[in-house]
Chains A and B, each alone.
Chain A
């Protein structure tokens, strides 16, 4: 029972480098999300997707890009990493046709930008 799988779990980047956080789910969920979690700030939505080929911005999309070419995969791309992107990133998915379903989360990816 894999559920939502995120890789890598930890990464250190230098300022200006780029990288992709991978997220895969095997539950055939249509809805997928990327959140970032900063200490004491809760979870902020970066991007979300309601199905393959459809993506939309969340609350804090600047500095990030996503794509959704398949139902299973929802990678998050960081271009020109900045210290402000140091955070823990969570991918989540949800069954159903609205945002009201239970979210299934990955284990998180801790990113440090130095």
Chain B
């Protein structure tokens, strides 16, 4: 069965520090998709990225970057030069496809607080 573990429950950093949010997943499928979602204090959930299991290239989007390593079953998320607006709960999620075609399973989330 698929599983996502976000071991860091809460992280606090000072503004402009870099921070990495860890995500470790378990799956029996060779084809799967990994996601990150952001939930700011206002409560809505916002999609950040989707990555399929065949694409291990790291991705960078502005101050955000993602490191996908199948060898360690990890899909870590780094925020460079953090800002107060990055304060949120961040969820990693996994969907297996196509064998089980299972709905998304979320980790428990990591609450990031960026202090000015």
Interface residues of A (CB under 8 A from B): 33, 35, 40-45, 48, 58, 88, 90, 92, 98-108
Interface-side segment among B13-21, B65-73, B74-82, B95-103 = B95-103
Q: Are the CB atoms of B108 and A42 closer together than 8 Å?
A: yes
Q: Is the CB of B45 within 8 A of A100?
A: no
Interface CB pairs A-B, < 8 A, 9: A43-B106, A92-B45, A98-B95, A99-B104, A103-B35, A103-B104, A105-B45, A106-B44, A108-B43
- Interface size on B, as a range, is 20 to 34
Q: Total contacts A to B, CB within 8 angstroms? A: 56
Q: Using an 8 Å CB-CB cutoff, how does the interface string of B6-49 with A read, 1 for contact, 0 for none?
A: 00010000000000000000000000010101000001111100
Chain B: interface secondary structure?
loop
With contacts A99-B97, A99-B101 taken as known, whether A42 is within 8 angstroms of B47 at the C-beta atoms is no
- Asked whether B91 lies within 8 Å of A103 as measured between CB atoms, the reply is no
Counting chain B CB atoms within 10 Å of each CB, the highest count among A92, A98, A101, A103 belongs to A103
A43 engages B91 (CB within 8 Å):
yes
In the complex, chain B residues whose CB is within 8 Å of the CB of A90: 45
Are the CB atoms of B43 and A40 closer together than 8 Å?
Answer: no
A47 to B52, CA, bound (A): 24
Take A43-B91, A105-B45, A108-B44 as given contacts and tell me if A99 and B108 are in contact as well, using a CB distance cutoff of 8 Å.
no
Our pick among B37, B46, B98, B105 for the contact of A98 (Cβ within 8 Å) is: B98
